[in-house]
């Protein structure tokens, strides 16, 4: 069995060593143009040339949860595309989102500003029941986030394309219930996959339906959010703020207004990083399952794009 590795912006050697250890007997090599054909590929943001030269691939294993970049390429039609379905990312995402929600709810950003200004001040405690959190996208990461938020006793709403039942979470599903979900939500957390249907989903119209004083947390993809519409609603006062981890262009351009907006908190696409050891173990297990004809979790449906 031959495995080829093609991941941009990723140090290859630790991955190659790890895959060799996890798949004894397999030939694991870094892809170079003109490389011999392989059975399976481990990829992140590969060029189209890679797939053009490897049309015989049986399995393509993405080292992240999002496959939107791959969906823009011409993939071998017979290949099974598989994404990571956790590998240590869900607990990181839950940490990040809970931190952002609590920081906003408890007004820790305001306290930080006061202390920097030398002011010793208190703020009136807020009512938790007034801060319903809506998780948009209830896959592996979204479900973990929704469950984590319940631990802090926030009212939690969840929206997904199809019906998903999570104990303690008020569920909404499909286009017909999307507006009701938004109107029931004050803090919106986006964990949707990026597809043609979800691009620009957070725009002036949809974000205006959030409860007054709404807050936006985007940890999915930058193209879900219409940047100018967010700024307009922040400046109008309808939205109280936003925490953004993903952007249409990364790194975020120096001239982008997000950098200096007083109501926006930024992080550099770090909400849930790929953990190499966990990812290698998961990918190796899925390669062996695919070779044996066993069920594999995380298979991407090309029609849906996730």
Catalytic residues: 221, 269
Q: Which two tokens stand for residue 37?
A: 């054909």
HSE-up (13 A, CA, CB side) for residue 193: 24
DSSP state of 118: T
Using CB atoms within 10 Å of the CB of residue 222, give its burial: 0 to 12 exposed, 13 to 18 middle, 19+ buried: middle
Q: How far apart are CA 254 and CA 50, in angstroms?
A: 32
Q: How far apart are CA 10 and CA 6, in angstroms?
A: 9
Direct distance between the N- and C-terminal alpha carbons of the chain, in angstroms, rounded to an integer: 27
Q: How far apart are CA 243 and CA 241, in angstroms?
A: 7
**SS3 per-residue string spanning 269-305:** CCCCCCCHHHHHHHHHHHHHHHHHCCCCCCECCCCCC
Using CA atoms, how far residue 79 sits from 8, 61, 158, 297, in Å, is: 21, 10, 33, 15
- Residue located via tokens 């929704």: 146
- The values of phi and psi at residue 257, to 5°, are -65, -20
Q: How far apart are CA 170 and CA 158, in angstroms?
A: 6
Q: Which two tokens stand for residue 29?
A: 């090599």
Q: How far apart are CA 270 and CA 263, in angstroms?
A: 20
């Amino acid at each position: 069995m031959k495995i080829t590795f093609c991941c941009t912006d990723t140090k290859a050697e630790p991955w190659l060593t790890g895959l060799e250890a996890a798949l004894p007997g397999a030939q694991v090599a870094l892809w170079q143009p003109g490389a011999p054909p392989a059975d399976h590929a481990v990829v992140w943001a590969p060029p189209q040339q890679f797939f053009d030269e490897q049309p015989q691939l049986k399995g393509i294993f993405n080292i992240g949860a999002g496959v939107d970049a791959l969906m823009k390429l011409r993939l071998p039609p017979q290949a099974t595309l598989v994404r990571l379905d956790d590998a240590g990312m869900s607990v990181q995402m839950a940490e990040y989102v809970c931190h952002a929600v609590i920081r906003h709810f408890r007004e820790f950003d305001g306290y930080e500003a006061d202390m920097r200004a030398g002011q010793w001040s208190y703020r009136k405690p807020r009512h938790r029941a007034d801060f319903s959190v809506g998780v948009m996208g209830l896959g592996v990461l979204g479900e973990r986030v929704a469950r984590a938020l319940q631990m802090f006793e926030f009212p939690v709403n969840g929206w997904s394309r199809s019906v998903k039942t999570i104990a303690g979470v008020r569920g909404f599903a499909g286009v017909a219930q999307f507006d009701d979900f938004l109107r029931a939500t004050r803090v919106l957390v986006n964990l949707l996959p990026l597809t043609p249907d979800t691009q620009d989903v957070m725009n002036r119209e949809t974000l205006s339906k959030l409860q007054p004083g709404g807050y936006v947390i985007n940890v999915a993809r930058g193209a879900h959010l219409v940047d100018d519409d967010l700024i307009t609603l922040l400046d109008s006062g309808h939205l109280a703020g936003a925490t953004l981890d993903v952007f249409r262009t990364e790194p975020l351009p120096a001239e982008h207004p997000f950098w200096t907006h007083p109501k926006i908190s930024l992080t550099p696409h770090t909400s849930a990083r790929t953990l190499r050891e966990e990812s290698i173990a998961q990918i190796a297990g899925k390669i062996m399952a695919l070779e044996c004809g066993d069920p594999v979790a995380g298979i991407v449906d090309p029609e849906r794009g996730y």
